[in-house]
Structure 1
Amino acid sequence: MTLEPHAELARRLDDRRARVARLDRADAWVARGRLAVFLAALAVAALAWGARALSAWWLLAPAVAFAVLAVRHDRVFRAREQARRAVAFHEAALARIDGRFAGRGVSGERFADPGHPYAADLDLFGAGGLFELLCAARTGPGEERLAAWLLAPAAADVVRARQRAVAALAPRLDLREDLAVLGDDVRAGVDAATLAAWGTGRGGLPPHVVPIALVLAGAGVAALWGWLAGHGALPLVAVLLLAWGFRRTVQAPVARVLGALGRPAAELQVLALLLARLEREPLDEPRLAELQARLRAPAPASTRIATLVRIAMRIEWAHNQLFAPVAFLLQWTPLHAALVERWRSANGAAVAGWLDAVAELEALSSLAGHAYEQAGTTFPEVLDLGPDRGASIAGEALRHPLLRAAVPNDVTLGGAGPRVLLVSGSNMSGKSTYLRTIGVNVVLALAGAKVHAARLALTPVHAGATLRIQDSLQAGKSRFYAEITRLKELADLAAGPFPLLFLLDEILHGTNSHDRRIGAEAIVRGLLDRGAIGLVTTHDLALTELAGAGAVLANAHFEDQVRDGEIAFDYRLRPGVVQHSNALALMRAVGLRV
């Protein structure tokens, strides 16, 4: 019997915490065992060299035991770190379900753009934002892909393909936990641009390096053997001088190759952990299977990366003081530089494709985690735009995903409903939250995620909002100027590939009522002429007259009730125009004499 998400995550959390406790105890026992073996070694040494009661060969026993315990200790340490990461993974998932996720995950602030038409207005990034609720990516490319999906709508067929992939990944809790266990090392290491550029670049190693290095290495081994056999040191000295001269001539190109290897090798090493796990997962859904095939063909990406990592590790041997003379004699560094170039020639062009596939799978996995964890969510129906179907949104019981006690409301724009909804209402009644609720669910829908609604059907639209327009002292712009600048940007956006969904909060409230009435009507009519749909909130009841008698614009409102001097809100959208204001009551409630 499958448990509901909260219960299943809580069960797994208890299990992982118990595993951490067991490994803590194992760590303590192994540490005590190593101490005991060390003391035993001291005792054996005293008996062997002090009392002359034992042979020194008896020291091999504690030495072997100590080595075995050291290996065991390392395994326990690694297993405990993985278990602790698993604990953190399940704790974070439960925090998202319970609404306690703010500040615990990746805020995505590096993707925040003040000039974006809706990112700041809809709280996409920052602590407690939508990105933090969604993101479970373990690499930078995965985070970037998820952010890109939230920042721009996709076509209907693309969204539907993402939905199918997300639905297939949603129940795969084991996969998401395993990717999280790989953990922070992967996220910290992978730089997509650096890796892709390195993969397609060339170090310029001259073609004569390999044959000359092989000849010198063979000659060096033969000369060394001859010297050891008593045939004189002159041949060996001659070979060493030739090797020194050769190394001087190829020093610059070899340094270019190996100098460019350092960071990519480390990044690819941690990326290989993630790739290996993704390659093992049985994925039958067509989009996921295609992405996985890109990681497996013609050979598994993780295997090919492991080859490069082994080369990089062997190159480091040349820096060991004991091995350095041997490495010099064998032309170790030039030959391994050639191996790096050969690897890059065979596999470098595929690096960008691996990163792209990983980014896609991680973004889909993040949306899958959201689909699994968030109760009361559903996949929206995404409709194709066409000559007979303009922009439309129809939803029932929409809730804001970032609010724990969100009140559900419906929305109908376009299609059989009005293309513009004029929302009036008193202060704090829920007008701005209603706009954000619609906007953030549209963003989720067109990224391929589940939405927080009982039902939602929509065509692709590009959102644009004026919910967080502010003045700028540094730029010398007033709030009104910043607003009309954004409105011009939205008008231009309405001419783009997708119809505009405009979310205009307190439109033109920085000017007088006469100019506001004329300006607001002109702006809304102009947006409608470009095929847009949207919502406009206002305190100015004169603007509600824009609806007139036609069916294109309609009025709706939020209201409140004052009981015994206290203002109560139900945050329910109602048809028509609000009939009263609570401004005076609010002023009196805070102690102003009005």
Structure 2
Amino acid sequence: MSIYKKRTKQFNESYLSIKKRHKVLGILRVLAFCGIIYSFYLFMRQENYYLLLITGGILIFFLVLLRLHVSMTWKLEYQRALKDINKDEEEFLEDDVREFDGGKEFEVQNHPYSFDLDVFGERSLFQYLNRTASYNGAKKLADLLNEQLLPNEIIENQEAVKELSQKLDWRHKILAYNKMSKIDRSTFDYLKKWSESDVKLVSKKSMYAAYILPGLLLLSVVLYFIESHLIWGYLVSLFFSLNLVLSIMKVKQIQQELSGADKIHETVENYASIFKKIEKESFQSKKMIELVDVLQNKDFRSSKEFKVLSSHFEKLNTVANIFVNVVFNGFWQFHVHSLNSLLIWKKKNAKYVMLSVEVVAEIEALNSLANFSYNNRKYTFPNLSVKQEMSFKDLGHPLINTTKRVCNDIDFRDQRFVILTGSNMSGKSTFLRTVGINLVLANIGAPICATGATFISLPLFVSMRLTDSLEDSESYFYAEVKRLKEIVESVAIQPCFVLLDEILRGTNSDDKQSGTIGVIKKLIHQKTYGLIATHDLEVCEVANDYPDIVVNKCFEVAFVEDELVFDYKIQDGICKNKNATFIMKKMQIID
């Protein structure tokens, strides 16, 4: 039984046990509520003050049950989240069911490599890695996959991913908290906008009134009970009305602070719980220690301060409650005091809000990579080369099922540029994607699908699946030329790794051949590493002119008993067998 299956069973049993107790508490709540109504009804009929005491006792019992029910509801949702997390992983590993967001919204068609390598979308690398539950966590993972990290950042990420991969239970708890928080894009945008907006404190005059008028109201009430004179009754009504009017005048400012955010206090409180979970965990890697230090700033302890912020938001959210609005504001200007407390907190601490939120997002992204590492313990963390060497042993595509995956060695130490030939369907494009996807993983500090690897951190450029653009009146050929221009300009500035698949398909064969050779020569004159796949065997002659830089590799196809047989193993040299005519005859397209 897999670890995920065991954990799914364990959390399902806990969930069912809590669900039974949750149901019992629900029944007791209903009975207690009925008891309150019935005992108060008897008191009204019999005017027996013992019945009033009984009513009060049942009311206290009901409030205790209510609090227990809220706590039990949270525990129930927490166990459900943990159960679902492990169930998803179990189905993912056993049946390749991917119930994870593919990050289509983060796709950029003109990106140097992500669109060509299917980094985002259905069945993409992002979907394979993604174990985030918040919008900003997903965005942080997308940013990682889209950006080029510095060598020291790659090493720090590797250390953090190695450490987090061993903390399965902790990672799942963080993910469960995030799932329950439901931090979507609108919530994230609200917090960002709120923390960056200007702070206009409640005026001193308003605060003086918020203390003096309730004080005068209390004095009037006391005097009315001492001496039931009509004047004190009028004063009670007057001060109550003034408190209420002054509070209502602040409703617009309160609504501006809330900006229509639904139950924002719950989101903030969940963040506080996540911060506490992170702060209490012990870490050894530099990256994780630095992230925890952000949350434990001497001027701002995130778990504590977000708890306070949640309380402020919760109080302001009651502005829509008629009972609280009338009674609490009438006696104490409750919402004026609540607004002032929030604004004072905001003025002092708003700058820390997004810093803390981004820590959780970064940990979500790192946890995704750690989950990938845990699920693929045979993968290797590539060594970052200090001698400008690059090689991969048993390199495979991580998104291809292990039963179908074919791994190959590829070495760029002696020659840094490979011309790859092969017949149709022999595996050229898949191999280019294999190299590209693993370089993307290596460049973010994740393990790669190989048994050994050394790599150089280089900007990656890919030209594989460009499209024409009707909107920009741009042909496929022009789109491809623009990409090639971008690549040539980039390699002139710094060394890059380039993957090109059958370039210049939008022109005639002579232009294509001479253009391809020209591009290769332009690239290799710079410190360029890479592969180019082509059907033009004449292109391979470039290796004869630059034997120290360019090498020919190929994928071959065998004809066995009138059938094509592919082994998808890379070989030295230029391919010899062709299959286009064979396939067309086989399909009776030609004679």
Does the pair score TM above 0.5? yes
Taking structure 1 as reference, are residues 461 and 318 closer, same or farther at Cα in structure 2, changes over 3 Å only? closer
| Matched letter for residue 289 of structure 1 | I
**3-state SS of paired residue (1:120):** coil
Q: Which moved further from structure 2: 559-568 or 326-335?
A: 326-335
Partner of 2:167: 172
Q: Distance in 2 between matches of 1:64 and 1:236?
A: 30
Taking structure 1 as reference, are residues 34 and 187 closer, same or farther at Cα in structure 2, changes over 3 Å only? closer
Aligned runs of 1:442-461 on 2, under 5 Å? 442-461=439-458
Aligned runs of 1:56-455 on 2, under 5 Å? 72-98=68-94, 100-102=96-98, 104-189=99-184, 191-205=187-201, 206-230=203-227, 231=229, 232-233=231-232, 234-240=234-240, 243=243, 246=246, 256-257=256-257, 259=259, 265=265, 267-298=267-298, 299-323=300-324, 324-384=326-386, 389-390=387-388, 392-404=389-401, 405-413=404-412, 416-455=413-452
Q: Distance in 1 between matches of 2:454 and 2:95?
A: 26
Asked whether 1:512 is paired with 2:495, we answer no
Q: Distance in 1 between matches of 2:207 and 2:40?
A: 50
Q: Distance in 2 between matches of 1:163 and 1:76?
A: 39
Q: Is the 8 A contact 1:192 1:352 kept in 2?
A: no
Structure 1, residues 299-323: CA drift from partner, whole Å, max 9, x if none?
4312111112112222344544334
Give the C-alpha shift of residue 461 in structure 1: 1.0
Give the C-alpha shift of residue 116 in structure 1: 0.6
Structure 1, residues 29-48: CA drift from partner, whole Å, max 9, x if none?
55566677789999999999
Give the C-alpha shift of residue 590 in structure 1: 2.5
Taking structure 1 as reference, are residues 510 and 319 closer, same or farther at Cα in structure 2, changes over 3 Å only? closer
Q: Which moved further from structure 2: 521-530 or 125-134?
A: 521-530
Q: Distance in 2 between matches of 1:33 and 1:253?
A: 41
Q: Distance in 2 between matches of 1:304 and 1:351?
A: 9
Q: Is the 8 A contact 2:265 2:314 kept in 1?
A: no
Q: Which runs of 5+ in 1 are unaligned?
A: 1-5
TM-score, length-scaled by structure 1: 0.88
Taking structure 1 as reference, are residues 260 and 473 closer, same or farther at Cα in structure 2, changes over 3 Å only? closer
How many residue pairs match? The answer is 580
Q: Distance in 1 between matches of 2:256 and 2:268?
A: 19
Q: Distance in 1 between matches of 2:266 and 2:69?
A: 24
Taking structure 1 as reference, are residues 460 and 200 closer, same or farther at Cα in structure 2, changes over 3 Å only? same
Q: Which moved further from structure 2: 236-245 or 155-164?
A: 236-245
**3-state SS of paired residue (1:570):** strand
**3-state SS of paired residue (2:507):** coil
| Matched letter for residue 293 of structure 2 | A
Q: Is the 8 A contact 1:203 1:253 kept in 2?
A: no
Taking structure 1 as reference, are residues 554 and 202 closer, same or farther at Cα in structure 2, changes over 3 Å only? same
Q: Which moved further from structure 2: 38-47 or 313-322?
A: 38-47
Partner of 1:534: 530
Partner of 1:525: 521
**3-state SS of paired residue (1:228):** helix
Give the C-alpha shift of residue 435 in structure 1: 0.3
| Matched letter for residue 153 of structure 1 | Q
Taking structure 1 as reference, are residues 350 and 495 closer, same or farther at Cα in structure 2, changes over 3 Å only? farther
Q: Which moved further from structure 2: 552-561 or 472-481?
A: 472-481
Q: Is the 8 A contact 2:315 2:335 kept in 1?
A: no
Structure 1, residues 310-354: CA drift from partner, whole Å, max 9, x if none?
122223445443342331331222222111111011211111211
**3-state SS of paired residue (1:223):** helix
**3-state SS of paired residue (1:322):** helix
| Matched letter for residue 16 of structure 2 | A
Give the C-alpha shift of residue 355 in structure 1: 2.0
* Percent of residue pairs identical: 25
| Matched letter for residue 11 of structure 1 | K
The Cα RMSD (Å) is 3.2
Taking structure 1 as reference, are residues 591 and 64 closer, same or farther at Cα in structure 2, changes over 3 Å only? farther
Q: Distance in 2 between matches of 1:258 and 1:74?
A: 24
Taking structure 1 as reference, are residues 256 and 226 closer, same or farther at Cα in structure 2, changes over 3 Å only? farther
Partner of 1:3: none
